[in-house]
Amino acid sequence: MKNTDQQRDVNTEEKTVSVPDPINIPDLLQGKVALITGGSSGIGFAMAERFLRCGAKVIITGRNEEKLRACCERAAGGGAISYLVLDVRDVETMPEKVQAAAAMFPENRIDILVNSAGVVNRSSFLNMTEQEYDCIMDTNAKGTYFMSQAVAKHMIKNKIKGHILNVTSSSALRPAWTPYQLSKWAVRGFTLGAADKLVPYGIIVNAIAPGPTATPMLGKHEGDDITAPSIPAGRFAMPSEIASLAAFMVSDMGNMIVGDTFYMTGGSGTITLHR
């Protein structure tokens, strides 16, 4: 009887999984280093500020160095932040850029990648050019794919059980005639595929899908009216709201969210698909 009880105890220990307890928000990302593409404006910058408040060190990337520097100065009061000039369309340089990003802090690692870099089309279907199509697809879909690949290799090499969060959109649920919608369909599918391939390494991949959000991409700036009768919730989402959900998803509290897309749309594009 004693041997049976001992064996049961051993089996129980082997099957025990460490589940993190809820912790204070300032400690949610303590000790983590996050790399955020498209981090110099809109949702990307809001995530950078939120991650800093949650204890992470943050590296933001973009193509405009002056804008990146200004964002770091603006957010510096919230913690350790740096920047890296990076064009996600330049796939060839990504491995060295990821290495450079990891070396920016003493930890010499990247625990979190957020693929937030994105552009939207301005032309209608009948006026779409190949150049505009390629720019959007190369940034939103191709950039997300190869940035994830480069950071995943870094994580695997350094045995980092990290998080990758892709920024998609409620547009990924709509009929796709624009390259923007097509790119977001691609990101939604890639999120599932990357989650499948990387979870054996302890790398968690998910996506967050904002609906209409008060960002410069949609012509909204600080202080603008965000009411929108066409949205069931009656207003645009704020970037800070998207960022709060993102912080939870890339924390250890989100370790059992795998391959999922979380929508924050105010109902636009989700409950309104029938309209």
pLDDT for the residue numbered 9: 47
Residue whose tokens read 């939870």:
248
Dmax over CA atoms of the chain, in Å, equals 79
Sheet holding 163-167, edge to edge: 81-85, 57-62, 33-37, 112-115, 163-167, 204-210, 261-264
Residue 206 pLDDT: 98
Of 83, 145, 180, 263, catalytic: 180
Amino acid sitting at position 111 = D
CB-based contact 59:104 (threshold 8 Å): yes
For the chain, the structural domain boundaries read: 28-264
Confidence (pLDDT) at 230: 82
DSSP 140: I
Which residues, in sequence order, are bridge partners of residue 227? 235
- Note whether 143 and 88 are within 8 A (CB): yes
Cβ-based burial of 61 (10 A; exposed 0-12, middle 13-18, buried ≥19): buried
What is the pTM for the complete model shown?
0.88
Architecture of the structural domain at 28-264: 3-Layer(aba) Sandwich (3.40)
Quick one: pLDDT at residue 109?
98
Residue 180 known to be catalytic = yes
Q: What tokens were used for 96?
A: 């060295």
Distance between CA 117 and CA 39 in Å, rounded?
7
Q: Which residues contact 229 (CB under 8 A, 6 or more apart)?
A: none
Q: How many CA atoms lie within 13 A of 150 on its CB side?
A: 25
DSSP 235: B
Q: Per-residue confidence of the chain (275 residues) as pLDDT tens digits?
A: 445 555 444 444 455 555 555 556 788 999 999 999 999 989 999 999 999 999 999 999 999 999 999 999 998 565 799 999 999 999 999 999 999 999 999 999 999 999 999 999 999 999 999 999 999 999 999 999 999 999 999 999 999 999 999 999 988 888 899 999 999 999 999 999 999 999 999 999 999 999 887 777 767 666 777 787 788 888 888 888 899 999 999 999 999 999 999 998 888 877 776 55
The C-alpha R_g of the chain, in whole angstroms, comes to 20
Q: Which of 111, 61, 114, 113 is nearest to 90 (CA)?
A: 61
Q: How far apart are the first and last CA of the chain?
A: 66
Tokens of residue 227, six digits: 């009411």
Strands 57-62 and 112-115: unpaired
Neighbours of 191 (CB within 10 A): 27
